[in-house]
Structure 1
C-alpha cells in the first residue's frame, strides 16, 4: 500500500526530531547513544524523503546544517567562511558517481582546456580523521582564537583549551607573517593516549570513554583548560579558511597542505595525489589495509579535486562542497538486539560469555555472536538479555558488545548470572580473587579442554612423550581414540597406525615413547596435570617439600597453606593453594590420576621431603652448578636428579656453591670453581653422591 503524503511528512518530522536529539548527544554532550552507521542511516532516509518531496524541506532540517548549536557555557565565534561537512559515499558505485559528476561539471565550463567526462580528474586523497573539527585564527602570526565547527556557521570559543595542545603552533615561524590566516583541521586523541586515559579513568574508579573521538571531544570542551592540558590531544591540519597571505599556493590543494606543513602544522603523511576513479579506489583499499596500524582512528577517506581553480568552478550545494566527498569504511559499530547470553569454555578452561544477537551487518560481515569478555565486564556495562546494544567489529577482531542503549531497555530485560558449574562437563567453576576470568576446574576430563590438557601432559617439560604433537593429538581426539591423558597408556598399534600419515613404524615409535614416559619424576607429573597457577618451578617446589602426591591430594586449603608456610616455599601463597585444592576436589580429576598410576606411570617415592616424618631431602640446602657435556647424562637429566633429592641448581659459580659438576669442555665456570676452592665432580662422582 502506497504511503500518503501525510504519513511521509510525519515520518520526516520524526526523523528530524530523532536526528536533532542525536546531534545534541554527539556534538554537545559528547555521549552518543547510537553508532555512526545508525546515524548515517537516519540522515540518509531523511535526505531521500526531502529529495523526493522538496516541499517537505524546512529551514531547521538537519540536512540544511552541519551539527548542533554551540554550548552555552562557551562564547560563540562566527565563521567568516562556513565550515561545511562532506557528503558521504558508502560503496564504489557512489564514488564512481561522484567522479562522473565532477568530470561532467568541469566539462560544462567554457575553458581553453577541453574537458570531457572521459578525462581523468586529479584528486588528493587523505584519511578521514575521527575527531572534532576546529578552526584556528592567526593574526600577524600569533594564535588569537579557536573555535569548534558548531553548526557550521558559528562555533564555541575554545581558544584557551586549544592553546594547551602542543601540536598547535602559538606563533607562525615566519619573518613576515600574514595579517590573517585561518587554519582548519581536526583535534583527535592518538590511540596510545586514549588507552592511557582509560587506564587512568579505571584507576580513579571513573567511567571509561567509549572511543578516542568521544575522549577528544570531551577533553576539548572542558571548562577548565588545566584538565584539557592533561589529556594529550593532537591536531592535524587539512585546509585553510580566510587568508590574505600572498605566498599561499593558488594552484592545488596538495601544495596548500605542504604550505601548512612548512608552517609547522601537523599534516597527515598518508595524503596522496591520485588520478581518476581507479586512483581513488586503490587508495581506499590501501589505507583500509593499514587502518589498524595507524596511530589514530579514522572512519574513511576524503577525496578532493586537487586543482583549486576546479574546486571554485564546482562550488557547493547547501551543506557540502561538490568537489569533495568522504568515502566511509564499512561500519565498525552497529546497533542490534541481544537475544541471549551463552557461555563458551576455552581450551584452558576459561569461561567466556557470548552474546547471541539479532543478525546485524557490521565490519563488512553479518554478525550473530559477540564476546562479552567476562562477568565483570557484563556487570560494568550493565548488559542484560533483551537489551538493545552497540556491537563493534574492527578488522579481524572478534566482535564485541561495547555498550547498551539504556533508553531502549525493555521492561523484562534479564540480569545475567555466570554459572557455578561448567556447562560442558559439570565441574565446579571458580574465579580467583586476582582474576577477572572464571574457569572450569575439570582440567583432565572436561571435553572443552581435552586437546590442551593432553598436549600439555605430553610436552617436553612434562611427561616428555617424543613425537606426540598437536596435530597427532587433534586426530586422536577427533577420532575418539583418546579422551584423557590416561588413555595414552591404553593405545594399541592398530589404532595409531590407522591415523593419517601414521605408518606402523611411526606408530611403534610413539608407543615406545609413551612407554618410556611412564618413569618420570613427581615434579614433572605435578606440572603435567596442568593445575591452574602451578608452573614448572612451583611443581618442583611442591615435589621437593611435600615428597608425596598423596599428601598433595589429601590436603585441604587450610592444611596446604599451613604446610607451605612452615616450609617457607617462595612464590606459593593462598591463590596457588586454592587452585591446587580446587583441582583435586574434582572426583573426575582424581579418577584420571588413579588411571595413570594403574597404567604404570610412577616416580621414585624418596623424591623430596616427607611431611609425615619430617625427614629432610638428602641434598636439601646444597647448591650445584653444571658445566660442560656429561658422557651419558644430559644437563636436564642431571638437574632433575639433583632437584628430586632437594638440591638446587644455579647458573653461576659463587662462594655459596657447594659442587660444580663438570663434563667435557667445561669453560669459565670450571676455572672459577678451581680458583675459589669449590668441590668439582665428574659424572661418576655425581652418581655416587646421588646414591
Structure 2
C-alpha cells in the first residue's frame, strides 16, 4: 500500500467507524456486527502502525463510544469510561500476559493473577453515590461525557437507591441488559398490543431486534415511566471515582460491590496465568447458549489493583485489561425447505427455510445456500467442501452469522439426516415465469432467461431503479413498488413517470388506497417529477444492467458524456461483442481439448481464428475497443451492455424511459486544464501516486481515462516497466510522457 492509498483508506475507515459508533451508541440501531466493527478497527490500527505520520486527529483508535444524544442532559465523567482492547485467539491472550510481564519487569515465575468475567452485551452505565445515596446515573457516551439517565436508572430493581457503609464518593460501573426470557415476553406484549392497535386503526409499534437494542432503547427513553415498564437488569463489574479504595484486588473489590447490594456475575473467576484464562473462556463459551442473557466474550483484568495503577492507560484502553471476543456465533437447527428467489439479473438464489433459531441475539429463520454447487457440496471449481456432504431438506444444519446481513448454512450433521431425505434437484426452469433457467459456462449461478416478462426480475429491477444510489425517489420504496406492480400500475421504469397522468391525475385513486392520503400522494408525485432531471451516471446505474455497478456507471458517463453517444457506441460494437463471445467459447473449448489430450494448446491462434470467422468490420471493432477500453470497464461489462441493448424488450424500455427524462451530463471541470476533453492512458509503474489517484486527478481535470491505447488516445503517461501500450502508442503516433512530465503538466490545477 502506498502512502496516498493509506491516507485514503484511513479517511474511509474514519467515516465508516464514526457512523457505526453513532448508530450503536447514540441511535441504538447497529449497522454492523461487533465482529465486522472489530475487523475494521484492526485494519485502521494496522495502517496507522505502518504509516504513523498519517494518523488522523479524529482517528478511530482514539475514539470511545459516540457523542451523547441531544435528548438528555449531559454529565462529564470524573474518570473517563474507556473501552477495552481485544483478543481474538489464544495467542493474543498469551501476548497480553507477555506484555504485562514485560512492562512490570516480571519473570515467568513471578506471581501474576487475573480475573476473568463474561463480557455482557448491553449498555454501559455509571452510577455515582454520595454519602451512600444515588446522585446520578450516566451512559458511557463518548467516554468523557454521557447522558443523564438518572430517573430511568432509579426504576431498575438491581440498582440500589441507597448503600450502607459505602465510601463517601462511590462510582459503580456496569452493564444494563435484558434477559432472553424478558426480551421474548416484551416482544410478545408488543405483538398483542399491535393487534389492538390494528383493530383501532392506530399505527403499530416495532418489535425489538435483539436484547441489547431492547435494553438500550428502554434505558434511553425520555419518559421514565416507559423505562419502569421494561424488564431491565444490571450487572456491576467496575468503578470510577472513589473517595477510598474498595479493596486491594479486583476480586475483593467485586465482592465488596456485592456486599453493597449490587448483582455481580457468578461466573467471574480468579485465574493464574493465560492457560487458566483460556480454560475459563472455554467453560463460559460452552455455557453461552444457556446463560439466559447475551455475552460476546470474556474480560481479563490484572487482579492486584496496585499493579493496575502501575500499568495505567493508553489513549482509550487500559493496559491491564483485555476482552477475549467469541468467534462468529453458530447454531444448529432443522432445514425445513429450500426456496428459490429470482433476482433482477435473473439469478436463481437458493434460500434455506429453517426452524427459527437464535444466532447472535437475532432470531434466524432463513439463510443463504449460495448456489447449486454449494448445495451439492462442491465449490465453483468442483472441489469438495464440507467433506463432500450435500444439503437436503430435513437435514440438521449449522447456521452462522459473522457480520453478514444474511446468515449462512455452514455444515450438515449426517447422523441426524432423515432416512427419506433425497438429494435436492435444482430447478432448470424459473419458478416465477416458467422460462428456461440456464447456467452459462464459467458462471456459478443459473439464470432465468425470461427477462422483463419474468415478474420477479421486473420487480427487482424496479426496486433497484428507485433505490438510493439510482433515482432515489422519496416515498417510492420496495414496498410501494411491489404494491404498484401487483396492481398493474407500473411494469417498467417509464411507467413511474406516467403514474399521475394515467390514473385520472393519479391523486384520486392513490389517496384512497390503504396507507396513502392526499398529502402522501401529492408528495410522491412531486418526488417523481423532481427526478425527471437526472444525472447520466445515475440513469445508467438505475437500469440494473448486470455487472454495471455505481463505479462502472460513472466511468461510462464520464467517457461518453451523453446517453446518445453511449447507446450509439454500444450498437455499433454489437458485431464485435458477438465475435468476442465466440472467441471466448472457442478458447474455452481449446483449453478443454488441451487438458484432455495432455498437450499444449494454441489458444491464441484459436481465438484469433474465431474472431476472423465472424468477419467484423473495422468500425465495429473500433467501437468495441473504445467501449472496453474505458478504464474500469473491460469485456465482461461490455458484453453485458451489448446484450442488454440488443434485447428488444429491454431496449424498448430504455428508449421509452429516456424520452421522459432530461439527462444531465457529467459535471465539467471547475477550471480550464490542458487535458480537458482528452483521452489519457496510464501504463507502467507510477512512483509518486497510485493508479487510482492518477485516474481520479485526470478525471477531475476533465480528461477521459482509458485502459487501452487506440487511435482515440491523446496522451500516454508511461512509468517504468511500460510495455505493449508504449509500443502501440509509438506505432500510432500518440504523445507519450513520463510521470514527472504529467505532474508538471497539471501542476497548480
For the pair shown, the structure with the greater C-alpha radius of gyration is 1
Question: Structure 1 length normalisation: TM-score?
Answer: 0.50
Question: Structure 2 length normalisation: TM-score?
Answer: 0.46
